[in-house]
Amino acid sequence: MSSVSSNMKGFYRQKKNTITNKSSNKPPIHDAALSPSTTAHADEYNENETMLRQFDMNMAYGPCVGMSRKERLERAQKLGLNPPIEIKKLLENEKVQSQSLWDGSI
């Protein structure tokens, strides 16, 4: 699954570049004001965020728009899908972005 998600992430970045280049009248997808961890040029996020984004993009746990990462994790647990325990730890203990990577961009 990790290969799929990393492909998707590459896709995501390319797409974002084209949008920011072409449409000058629209604001970039991730506004800097939104939150520090999803800045407009999202190269700065750390390892935790990388893992969480891979979790966001893992289609086995369903769509991620419109619910927080924690809710999505809980849903996956409820459906018996055994989501990775690391994600749970991250969301509970670390100071991480609580919304999925698409939050605020749709």
Partner 1 sequence: MGMEKEKNLHRLQCSYASLDESFEISKESYRGQQYSHIYYARLNLMRSLLYSLVSNWKPFSPVCPVLELEEGKECVIIGTLYKHMKLKPRVLDEYSKEKSTIPLVKPHNFIHSDDYLILEDEKGRVKLGGNFISPSVYATGVVVALHGKESGAGDFLVLDVLEAGLPPQIDRPLKSREDKYVVFLSGLSIGRSNSNPLQFQLLIDHITGHLGDEMEQSIASQIVHVIIAGNSVEIPPGLLNGQNLASKDLSRIAEPIKELDIMLNQIAAGLPLDIMPGPNDPSNFALPQQPLHRCLFPGSSAYNTFRSCTNPHCFELDNVRFLGTAGQNVDDLDKYSEAKDKLEFMERTLRWRHLAPTAPNTLGCYPYTDKDPFLIDICPHVYFVGNQNKYETRIIKGSEGQLVRLICVPKFNETGVAVVLNLKDLECHALSFGTQLSS
Binding partner 1 by CB under 8 A: which of 9, 75, 96, 98? 75
Binding positions for partner 1, 15-74, rule CB under 8 A: 59-60, 62-63, 65-67, 71, 74
**Cβ-contact 20, 31 below 8 angstroms:** no
Nearer to partner 1, 49 or 103 (CB): 103
Number of residues that bind partner 1 (CB under 8 A): 15
Q: Does 8 bind partner 1 (CB under 8 A)?
A: no
Tokens of 74: 């809980």
| Residue 99 phi, psi (nearest 5) | -100, 160
- Alpha helix (H) residue ranges in the chain: 2-22, 47-57, 69-78, 85-93
Binding partner 1 by CB under 8 A: which of 17, 36, 81, 92? 81
- Return the number of other C-beta atoms located less than 10 Å from residue 64's C-beta: 21
Binding site for partner 1 (CB under 8 A): 59-60, 62-63, 65-67, 71, 74-75, 78-81, 106
